[in-house]
Amino acid sequence: MTAKKFCGRGLPETPSIAACVQRLGTIRVLGGVVLADIAKHVANALHDERQLSVDETLDSIRYVFNAEMLNPTDEAKGHFV
């Protein structure tokens, strides 16, 4: 399920964070914001260290993230916090 389908029903093509918060609640949205920030930092680091395209790296991260969510390679165990 895409973010648009999940939090953007009836909203513009790219829903705002405020619209997602209204639909999902702050805690759920913050998890997505944190993951997006991490992805951007990884992409920027790979660009700086290996001259890889930021956009292509973010596309790769999205692809693998979605694949892992749909077909996990392992079961999540324990707690994060």
> How do the domains of the chain map onto residue ranges?
3-70
**Could you tell me the end-to-end alpha-carbon distance of the chain, in angstroms, rounded to an integer?**
26
Q: Contact 54/41 with Cβ under 8 angstroms? A: no
How do residues 5-31 score in pLDDT, each as one tens digit?
A: 545 455 455 667 777 777 777 777 778
Nearest to 80 by CA among 39, 42, 40, 34: 34
Q: Contact 27/16 with Cβ under 8 angstroms? A: no
Q: Contact 17/29 with Cβ under 8 angstroms? A: yes
Percent of the chain whose pLDDT exceeds 90: 46
